[in-house]
Chain A
Amino acid sequence: MSPRGAACYRRRVPKAPLLAPPGPPTISFYWDGAPVAACPGDTVASALIAAGELATSRSAKYRRLRGPACLHGGCGTCLVRVDGRPNQRACLTPVREDMRVEPQNTYGGLDPTALVDQVFRRGIDHHHLVVYPRIANQMMQGVARELAGFGELPDAPPEDVPGVVDHAPEVLVIGAGRSGRALATSLAAAGHPPLVVERRPAAALAGSDLPARLLAGVGVFACYPQERLWAAASEQPPVLHRLRPRHVVLAVGAHEPTIPLANNDLPGVVSARGLADMLEQTGRKLSARVVVIGEGARAELLASTLAAERVPPARVRKLIGARRVKGVQLEDGKILRCDLVALAPDPAPAFELAAQAGAPIHFTGAGFAPVVDADGRIAAGPAAHPLEAEGAQTAPPPPWTLWAVGELAGATTPAEIRGTVDRCAAALVRALAESPAPKDSHDRA
């Protein structure tokens, strides 16, 4: 069995477009064998959503249809096969003429594994289900093994040998979103242009305020304090970046957590923030009917940006639809018809890199975040080696200072984000003046 798209997808009827293009489409690529029109600036996800193609895979256990959701590189359900390479995030992959994009982990339009969702109506409790009799367990394991996994191996071994680039910047800024860019601008104006690393590709970063020293399409995937190293990589071209900065500012923003609602996994249920950003980046306009689900000022703002009706989660009974979302059923039985549901949860700070760097982490009520002072400075202790007993911390303190700005530092509104950027920039410029770079240190970027 091949867990890839099958021919039955190909005779699909074209769907009603959901996002209007900013101009005539000039690019064409293949989605599961059928041509899709796109515009420069589109990602695979924006082009597919625009074309009404919302499902890109099936889920691991219940085999339900899934598609791009966070639109921000964070959720992992937009994974597709691009030109023979598996597990590419559709929402971070710019469209290219004639690229072949295929669904993953699905067996075509009439996928027989979809029956799992019907058969196990009360859920699969893997602690007890089909553990006995053993023969049934073995049969089930056999089937499950075939189903498991994310995509198939690449068609061919990669042609390029991955390269390595070392960088020793004075200031490293991770993230070129609003706060990262604003901070880079302030530092550059003060004579300390930072190196900015951003996981989104350059094509997805519209705007005139792009930092001068920018590595786009490069994801910082780890901080290894014991190695005194931050590590980042791009897949195409395949390059490993080893970063040894003196100061690190995390401008990594926040994740959009799910809102637990019945059928919150339907294709077409997306992040409101991700959708708003996608429209801004691509210049596309909504032609779809959207309902925003969320509470509070931020959800309100996103609903007005998307010109959509907003309902608080407590009023929602369930989302309806089968192969894609068709509407929101409210507790009073009323149904709001729509083509997309945009979730506007309280954002959860992207604390992961800060935690790896040794930052103390606390629960904010919305999610986890590093503890920061008024300037955004993080007091990261000496990094204990994971295999060392606690208390036997022999590692020296990290060779960098660590800071957070924007949503990671607890800001939610544009004004608060600006405030964290200004305070951090001022404090960082003072720190740079107090300890100028040693003579032998220079950027090798």
Chain B
Amino acid sequence: MTARTFVCRCEDVTLTEIERAIAAGLSDVEEIKRYTGLGTGPCQGKECLSALGRLLVARNLIAPAALRPFTARPPVEPVTFGALAAGATDHPEDPSP
């Protein structure tokens, strides 16, 4: 097994990949997410977002006050399409037959 240090296990983003993104001139959470895919897996950043934030602050790449999380869009918990669809059934404008 290759020794790898993971920052985001969902999308297999390693510290080396974060360093590559930093070397490419990126320094904030949103940019690094878009470059590496960090935070885009099933946990949606619950495990990696703050780890990345701490790393950027520790390396003086960004001031803590300037640090913003990426947008926490719904759903923050897994939900089935069935459950979501159930909420639409009583909409009168629902065009389904």
Contact A61–B43 (Cβ < 8 Å): no
Count contacts on A: residues with CB < 8 A to the other chain.
74
Residue of A nearest to B21 (CB): A127
**Contact indicator A60/B53 (Cβ below 8 Å):** no
- In the complex, the answer to whether B2 meets A121 with C-beta atoms within 8 Å is yes
Tell me the nearest residue of chain A to B14, going by C-beta. Answer: A123
A363/B78 in contact, CB under 8 A: no
Contact B74 A356 (CB under 8 A): yes
Known: A69-B9, A222-B76. A233 touches B83 (CB 8 A): yes
Number of CB contacts from chain A to chain B under 8 A: 194
For residue A310, CB closer than 8 A to chain B, the reply is: no
Give the CA-CA distance A164 to B91 in the complex, in Å.
12
Q: How far is the CA of A150 from the CA of B10 in the complex (A)?
A: 11
Give the distance in Å from the alpha carbon of A356 to the alpha carbon of B73 in the complex. Answer: 7
| Contact status A258-B20, CB under 8 Å | no
In this complex, what residue of B is CB-closest to A150? Answer: B42
Distance in angstroms from A274 CB to nearest chain B CB is 12
Name the prevailing secondary structure of the A interface residues: loop
Q: For chain B residues 54-69, which have a beta carbon within 8 Å of chain A?
A: 54-55, 57, 64-65, 67-69
- Binary interface encoding of chain B residues 38-60 relative to chain A, with 1 for a CB under 8 A from any of its CBs, else 0: 00011110111111011101000
Contact with B along A58-84 (1 / 0, CB 8 A): 011110101001100111110100000
Report the Cα distance A199→B80, complex, angstroms: 14
The B interface is mostly helix, strand or loop, or mixed, namely: loop
What B residues does A53 contact at CB under 8 A? none
Q: Which of A59, A164, A262 contacts B3 (CB 8 A)?
A: A262
Chain A, 377-400, contact with B by CB distance < 8 Å: what is the 0/1 string? 000000000000000000000000
- Cβ contact within 8 Å between A260 and B80: no
Q: Do residues B87 and A164 form an inter-chain contact, with CB atoms below 8 A?
A: yes
Given contacts A74-B46, A164-B90, A348-B50, contact A260 B15 (CB under 8 A): yes
Interface, chain A (partner B; CB < 8 A): 59-62, 64, 66, 69-70, 73-77, 79, 87, 89, 117-118, 120-123, 125-127, 150, 158, 161-164, 199, 219-224, 231, 233-235, 238-240, 242, 255-265, 318, 322, 345, 348, 350-353, 355-356, 361-363, 365-368
